Structure 1
C-alpha cells in the first residue's frame, strides 16, 4: 500500500488540491450569499392605524443600511384611463394663499429600521386629485398601486417597492375599506430595473403626470427576481 501511495503521490496531491479548492469555493459562495442577504435593500409599504381612507400609508426601510426616500408614485385607473403621478409632496400643508414655504415633503433619509409616514390614503388621493379635473375623483377609482423609490449605497443605486390597494365602497358610495392586494410589497432592485427607475424619475420630474401605468415594466413577469 505504501508503495502504491508513493507511486501515485503526484496524482493524490492534485486530487487533494482540487478537493481543497472546491471546499474553499463552497465556503466563499456561502459567505457571499449570506453577505448579500444581509446587505440587500428592502422597502415595505403598509397600511396603518385604520382601514378606511383615514389609514396612514407607511414606507419602512428594512434594509441593513440607510436609504434616501426619493419619491412615492401612485398609479390608478379612472374612467378607463391609467395615470401615474408623484404624491411625495404634502400639498395639503400648503398655505391658503399659495405660500409654498409651508409645503412639506416626505422626501428624506431613512435609517435602517425606520419609517416615513407618507400621509393618509385620503391625503394621497387629494394630492393626485390636484392633477385632474374629475369632480368625483375618489368614486372613479377602484384600486391603486403605490411605488416607493429610494437611493442606497451613497445614492449610487436606486431601489423600489410596489404594493397595490383596492377600495371597497359602502352603500352610500363612500370608501369604507382600503384593502392591500398583496401580502407584502414587491421588491425592485435588479441592475436592469435600476435603469428603468432612473428613466421613470426623470419622466415624472419633467411631465408630472404619465398617462399610463408603470408597474408592469418594473415588476416584470410573476415570480421573476426584480
Structure 2
C-alpha cells in the first residue's frame, strides 16, 4: 500500500489539490452569497391595526442598511379603469414646512429594522384621487397596489 502511494504521489497530489480547490471555491461562493444577501435592501409593505379600509399601511425596511424612500406610487383598478398616482406627500397644504418634515411627506431615510406608517388605505386612495382630480373612493376600487421606491447603497 505504501509503495503504491509513493509510486503515485504526483498524481495523488494533483487530485488532492484539485479537491481542495473545489472546497475553497465552495467556501468563496458561500462567503459572496452571504455578503450580497446582507447588503440587499428588502422592503416589506403590509397592513396593520385592522383588516378594512381604516387599516394602516406600514412600510418596513427589513435590510440591515438605511434606505431612502423616494416616493410612494398607488395603482388603482376602479370600475375597470386603471389609474396611478404618486402619493408621497401626506398633506396638500401650502403652508411652511415647520416642525418634523415626516408629518408632511413619506420621503426620507428609513433605518434597518425601522417601520413607517404611510397612512390608512382610505387616506391613501383619497390622496391619489386628489392628485388625479377625480372622484374615486375605495369602495369602487377592485384592487389597490402600493409601490414604494427606495434608494439603497
* Aligned alpha-carbon RMSD (Å): 1.8
Q: Distance in 1 between matches of 2:95 and 2:126?
A: 17
- Normalised to the residue count of structure 2, the TM-score between the two structures is 0.86
Q: Indicate which of 96, 100, 112 corresponds to 1:101.
A: 96
Higher relative contact order (CA 8 A, sep 6+): 2
**Structure 1 position 118, deviation (Å):** 0.6
Matched with 2:38 is 38
**Structure 1 position 100, deviation (Å):** 4.3
SS of the aligned residue for 1:33 comes to helix
Structure whose CA Rg is larger: 2
Matched with 2:134 is 133
Uncovered stretches (5+) of structure 1, i.e. residues with no partner: 154-226
Matched with 2:100 is none
Count matched residues. Answer: 147
* Contact 2:78–2:143, Cα closer than 8 Å, also in 1: no
- Normalised to the residue count of structure 1, the TM-score between the two structures is 0.60
**Structure 1 position 125, deviation (Å):** 1.1
**Structure 1 position 5, deviation (Å):** 2.1
**Residue pairs, 1:24-35, within 5 angstroms:** 24-35=24-35
Q: Distance in 1 between matches of 2:125 and 2:134?
A: 13
Uncovered stretches (5+) of structure 2, i.e. residues with no partner: 98-102
